[in-house]
Amino acid sequence: MADGMTARETRPPDAPARYRLRIPGPAEVPERVRQAAARTVLNHRGPEFRAQLAYAEAGVRPILGTANRVMFFAASGSGMMEAALVNVVAPDAALLVVVQGQFGERFEAISRALGARVDRLDVPWGESVDPQAIADRIRHISYTAVVLVHNESSTGVVSDLAAIGAVLRDSPALLVVDTVSGLGGVEMRQDEWGIDVVVAASQKALMCPPGLGLASLSAKAWEVVNRSDRMPRFYWDFRRALSSAEKSETPFTPPVSLVGGLCEALAMIAEEGLPQVLDRHRRLSAMLRAGGQAMGLGVFPRAPMLSSTVTVFSVPEQLEGGQIVRAMYDRHRTVIAGARNRLSGRVIRIGTMGAIDEATILTDLAQLEDVLRHLGWPVAPGAGLVAATTCGID
């Protein structure tokens, strides 16, 4: 080639052999879903694709716990967070943003970027917001919305949305929730809990590649979204998305192949049964926590509701989280996560979402044992495996 590079040099490498993607998203995509996403690309306004979009909506609804229309977008999770806000926020609106970790901070940053008046309700990282604290805040200030993350992936904490929804039920404020890393692995009952705007994305417990976002809105939310004085919006305009969704279409070209993948993932969830899927997440995350603790790692979150999709361990003081992350990759080609925030070095995070089974967790623990010992941290042989398989979770 002109610049002297060979085709061999310019083509980036594939995943290495034995590669295991064990971060809290994107999660490993099962073979069935990858095959489905590799099928013929369809006309996005043709009957075949409309049938897929309708199937995807019907499959996602029970996972969301809603009878609402579900709108799909070409977006990462953060795009959906912004979409949620541009549709409910007027230029002078006041928002109460609950910050209990990195993704709460992102919601705050997006709110500020849009020029909203932001009140921040801070929760120590690792704890979850007390619904009463929200009740106290909304008593004196009229907020357009209370904004929070359901499953905080930086800390492994789940918010008590049933209780928070009850607090907001008789208030004019909307409840806007990011369940990007929860949906499909942590229970969500949008209608029963009174959640007005729910956004999520494909690459976590929904077992798809990244790039497909979704949103579901209550009637109370639509009253606000339909006002003409909201933020400037075009691509993210939920009103336009709704009128397309009513015809099983999207306003603009959707990620057609990812919708095909999502249909397959939803079929897998339906075959296993949603209660069984949620229970598997609960069981496997408890196994991982028990195994990690038996090897001397700490469970970082102290909240009453721990995440079933993201396990966050605190690292012994003698070690550094990044060392463990690097050694897991160097020695095993297993990718786990550290933290890119104030917890950097102090925690490691492992995804327990999507297409995982007991063998996944036992492999994680065996490899962690090897890595911890390699780094000079003493672990009794098999301690994590024994604890995981005898932790009494069934």
In the complex, the residues that contact ligand PLP under the rule CB under 6 A are: 25, 76-78, 103, 149, 153, 178, 180-181, 201
Nearest to ligand PLP of 196, 249 (CB atom): 196
Smaller CB separation from ligand PLP, 208 or 269:
208
Minimum CB separation of residue 216 from ligand PLP in Å reads 16
**Cβ distance to ligand PLP smaller for residue 180 or 328:** 180
Helix (H) or strand (E) holding 113: helix 102-113
- Asked if 110 and 81 count as a contact pair (C-beta separation under 8 A), the reply is yes
Q: In the bound complex, what is the minimum distance in angstroms from residue 185's beta carbon to ligand PLP?
A: 11
Nearer to ligand PLP, 49 or 73 (CB): 73
CB count in 10 Å sphere of residue 265 = 27
In whole angstroms, the minimum distance from the beta carbon of 74 to ligand PLP comes to 12
- The least CB distance from residue 308 to ligand PLP, in Å, is 13
Cα dihedral 270, 275, 278, 283 sign: negative
Q: Which two tokens stand for residue 49?
A: 């694709």
Backbone angles phi, psi at 334, to 5 degrees: -100, 130
Structure tokens at 11: 């083509």
**How many whole angstroms separate alpha carbon 70 and alpha carbon 54?**
9
Please give the Cα distance from 178 to 147 (Å, whole number): 8
Q: Which is nearer to ligand PLP, 76 or 341 (CB)?
A: 76
Closest to ligand PLP by CB, 176 or 388: 176
Instruction: Tell the smallest beta-carbon distance from residue 214 to ligand PLP (Å).
Output: 12
Distance CA 126, CA 106 (A): 17
Rounded to 5 degrees, φ, ψ at 96 are -105, 110
Can you tell me the distance from the alpha carbon of 63 to that of 78, in angstroms, rounded to the nearest whole number?
20
Q: Which is nearer to ligand PLP, 178 or 364 (CB)?
A: 178
Q: How far is the CB of 108 from ligand PLP (least distance, A)?
A: 13
In the complex, least distance from residue 31 CB atom to ligand PLP, rounded to whole angstroms: 23
For residues 157 and 147, the answer to whether their CB atoms sit within 8 Å is: no
Between 206 and 388, name the residue whose CB sits nearer to ligand PLP: 206
Q: How far apart are CA 131 and CA 205, in angstroms?
A: 26
For the bound state, the minimum distance from the C-beta of residue 215 to ligand PLP, rounded and expressed in Å, comes to 13
Q: How far is CA 272 from CA 62, 287, 302, 309, in A?
A: 14, 20, 31, 17
Residue with CB nearest ligand PLP? 77
Side-chain half-sphere of 90: how many Cα atoms within 13 Å?
Answer: 12
